[in-house]
Amino acid sequence: MAKKNENKLEDQKSNDLKKNTVDNNGEFLTTNQGLRINDDQNSLTAGERGPTLLEDFHLREKITHFDHERIPERIVHARGSGAHGYFELHESLSEYTKADFLQTPGTRTPVFARFSTVAGSRGSTDLARDVRGFAVKFYTQEGNYDLVGNNMPIFFIQDAIKFPDLIHAVKPEPNNEIPQAASAHDTFWDFVSLTPETMHNVMWLMSDRAIPRSLRMMEGFGIHTYRFVNKEGKSFFVRFHWKPVLGVHSVLWEEAQKISGIDPDFHRRDLYDSIDKGMFAEWDFGVQIVNEEDEHKFSFDLLDPTKLIPEELVPVKIVGRMTLNRNVDNFFAETEQIAFHPGHVVPGIDFSNDPLLQGRLFSYTDTQLIRLGGPNFHEIPINRPVCPFHNNQRDGYMRQTINPGQSSYHPNSTGEGFPKQAKESEGGYTSYHERIDGHKIRTRSKSFMDHFSQPAMFYNSLNEVEKQHVIDAFSFELGKVKKAEIRERTVGLITKINKDLAKLVADRLGIKNPKPDKIMNHSYPADANPNDYQPMDANPDPKSSPAVSMANTRKDSIKSRMIAFFAADGVDAKSMENMKKALGKQQAIVKIVAPHAGEIKTSSGETVKVDESFLTADSVMFDAIFIPGGKKSINTIVGIDKAKTYVQDAFKHFKPIGAVDDGEEFLQKSLELKSKELPKGVLLNEQASAFIDAIKQHRFWERKV
Ligand code: HDD
């Protein structure tokens, strides 16, 4: 069986990692030199109560290694969670690209994906309002290909030279290192208010996209326009998409805040647990392809990373699927040490002149040199390609490879000319022969000056609930800003996107008459005429793009959704088991929440294991609540205040709530339902199928709360 696996492409990386996997099971404790340790409890001392001796090599080695355990965290995207899996191509892209892994349907390529928040430190909460990183390393037969994207299709800035400014502004303020993992503070909004190009990404950041329900329920985007190049040398522009099979879903801001306290590892745990249970995380992979000759047919510039290509103009062609099916064995060795780089490409994939992308191509290797301690980070197991690699790069800290022979240069005769260059026909990478003709200048193209049309399109595309959440988010974030002029300037910018939105936010902030700042773009060169840098008025084309609204996502699965069952001694075994079975068939996860940990007894005397007590869990951890019957059980639960607030919160957060038989009494007492007509998504004595359909909806936004 193991032999068969070794031949499968998709297992190549995991087999490679096995070479470095050391299992301690059944082994003696030794030093790093292999010497068996006799006493790991006591230092070597001079006498029972005497000083510790310098001679104690075991103590010295153990403490020294411990002292050096930490490496610098990533300057951005420090907090992340990752998993292994594979990418399977379903439809050939050979018409557009010669990339080997995109040629033959059915080809499986091993991948490692890492998801992250941007601003917070390694130990910060998963549920911060933030962009999420979505980075995938494809271990292809032609070398590693990294698609290093985010869960939003656009970025804050147009030129990489502004990246340090953006990140300094959003990170904790330098004088007091406050706040952690939050954009709701003066420096971030100061930068935004002076840099109108940020507004499109800011709109997405204020939407529910910034607080996903699960890493498995968010989209991924390559953002930049890249190039495909086919075998004939013809090039196409391409944007990359990941679409989650479970749909795109979020939590509410109030939930996000609570989860951050109750379980800051919420997303990490969700990814780990679901893969552990065999419910693999899946995304469809899609491309938007634009012919070279159509480069200028859009109302925005394809090279501008603050713009998306509306899916209604260029549909996303789904060509494959990524399945993450294996958790890491060691978080540090794999998730922490993985090194991504948008410049890791394979033949058939090339860059556009997007100035943000071009700057990124420098930054990523540079950062790994400091983060991973030297130039040999490509030899770390998780970073090694599955295909062989040979070159004349040598030495450096922690070199692992032993290159025999006299020759470490090219051309050489001492090594018979090897390693030799590969012709294009042998898989040698050649850059696309794009014609470039221009002056050496520092300027921003006029075609990059439309900063408000797409934010306006985004807002127009949201439904009323989504819009309300954007208003609430702006009000919260700007409400945290201390300097009035920053708040006013930002609201001024919002007026350029949508006057109603600006007015609603202004009202919440006590701003009387929101006006755009006279000179709105403050990021222009010293010698420039500021007028040349003024943004254009919004003129969205198209007016709206239904594809950006999460309300239009697919809602056809409850796989891996967490359902709380409220139960105490005497719970009706039949109604509990029936629902549990029906949900289990759909691969939802049922958790028994009871007044105490341990076990409870059902009405028919069976013992049921309790998963959580009302003390250890909270409504925000679950997607839906179900209350089975059983008089005795209900009598107990009715007396527990936390159980009542649990249901009230679920109700307020628009979640499905189901009850049968005596469960109705508890629901009535908790929710004080007055009218005969039940609120949307509250189900009494309904079939399991109705409850399942309700969970598929995710939330009942139309419910009056
Ligand atoms: Fe970046 C990490 C995504 C612009 C410089 N970036 C990093 C990661 C993601 C992104 C997902 C984490 C990778 C991982 O999981 O290890 N970055 C983006 C996207 C961008 C972007 C989608 C714009 C479209 N980044 C960007 C710019 C620069 C950087 C303009 C610098 C000029 N990014 C870095 C970095 C990081 C990084 C400093 C930190 C850790 C690392 O690279 O490995 O080099």
Summarised one tens digit per residue, pLDDT across range 64-73 is 999 999 999 9
- Name the residue at shortest CA distance from atom 23 of ligand 1: 155
Q: How confident is the model at residue 240 (pLDDT cuts 50, 70, 90)?
A: very high
Q: What is the mean pLDDT of residues 293-322?
A: 98
Distance CA 264, CA 122 (A): 11
Q: Do the first three CATH levels of 80-203+213-383 and 555-696 match, i.e. the same topology?
A: no
Q: pLDDT tens digit string along 384-406?
A: 999 999 999 999 999 999 999 99
Atom of ligand 1 nearest to the CA of 78: 40
Ligand 1 center–CA 262 separation, angstroms: 29
Asked if residue 674 has pLDDT above 90, the reply is: no
Which of the 8 DSSP states describes residue 126? T
Q: pLDDT tens digit string along 410-421?
A: 999 999 999 999
Strand partners, 565: 592, 626
**Residue 615 contacts residue 641 (beta carbons within 8 Å):** no
Asked if residue 53 has pLDDT above 80, the reply is: yes
Q: How confident is the model at residue 5 (pLDDT cuts 50, 70, 90)?
A: very low
What CATH class does 2-67 carry? few secondary structures
Q: Is 163 in the pocket of ligand 1 (CB under 6 A)?
A: yes
Q: What is the mean pLDDT of residues 507-527?
A: 91
CA atoms within 13 A on the CB side of 113: 27
Is 2.40.10.10 the CATH classification of the domain at 80-203+213-383?
no
Whether 391 sits among the annotated catalytic residues: the reply is no
CA atoms within 13 A on the CB side of 81: 24
Q: Is 116 in the pocket of ligand 1 (CB under 6 A)?
A: yes
The reported pLDDT for the residue numbered 685 is: 94
Asked if residue 584 has pLDDT above 50, the reply is: yes
Residue with tokens 């031949």: 7
Our mutation pick for probing the ligand 1 site, out of 74, 165, 306, 356, counting the most ligand atoms within 8 A of Cβ, is: 74
Q: Please, what is the angle between helix 499-509 and helix 464-479, to 10°?
A: 40
Our mutation pick for probing the ligand 1 site, out of 73, 76, 267, 351, counting the most ligand atoms within 8 A of Cβ, is: 76
The reported pLDDT for the residue numbered 519 is: 82
Residue with tokens 């470039």: 436
The reported pLDDT for the residue numbered 676 is: 79
Q: pLDDT tens digit string along 587-638?
A: 999 999 999 999 999 999 999 999 999 999 999 999 999 999 999 999 999 9
Q: How far is CA 412 from CA 391, 396, 426, 542, 601, in A?
A: 12, 22, 20, 59, 79
Q: For the chain, what is the radius of gyration of the CA atoms?
A: 28
Ligand 1 center–CA 364 separation, angstroms: 7
* Architecture category of domain 555-696 in CATH: 3-Layer(aba) Sandwich (3.40)
Question: Do the strands 599-601 and 317-327 form a parallel or antiparallel pair, or are they unpaired?
Answer: unpaired
Asked if residue 705 has pLDDT above 90, the reply is: no
Distance CA 327, CA 307 (A): 35
Asked if residue 689 has pLDDT above 90, the reply is: yes
Q: What is the mean pLDDT of residues 105-113?
A: 98
Question: Which token pair is 248?
Answer: 């795109």
Q: Is 650 in the pocket of ligand 1 (CB under 6 A)?
A: no
Asked if residue 3 has pLDDT above 50, the reply is: no
Residue spans of the domains in the chain: they are 2-67, 80-203+213-383, 555-696
Q: pLDDT tens digit string along 636-671?
A: 999 999 999 999 999 999 999 999 999 999 999 999
The reported pLDDT for the residue numbered 518 is: 80
Contacts of 649 (CB under 8 A, 6+ apart): 618, 619, 620
Q: What is the mean pLDDT of residues 189-208?
A: 98
Distance CA 187, CA 296 (A): 36
The reported pLDDT for the residue numbered 251 is: 98
Our mutation pick for probing the ligand 1 site, out of 71, 171, 337, 363, counting the most ligand atoms within 8 A of Cβ, is: 363
The reported pLDDT for the residue numbered 7 is: 63
Q: Is 155 in the pocket of ligand 1 (CB under 6 A)?
A: yes
Asked if residue 4 has pLDDT above 60, the reply is: no
Asked if residue 6 has pLDDT above 80, the reply is: no
Helix/strand number for the chain, H first, E second: 19, 18
Strand partners, 326: 84
Name the residue with higher pLDDT: 234 or 521.
234
Residue with tokens 């010293």: 526
Asked if residue 506 has pLDDT above 60, the reply is: yes
Whether 412 sits among the annotated catalytic residues: the reply is no
Mean pLDDT for all residues in the chain = 96
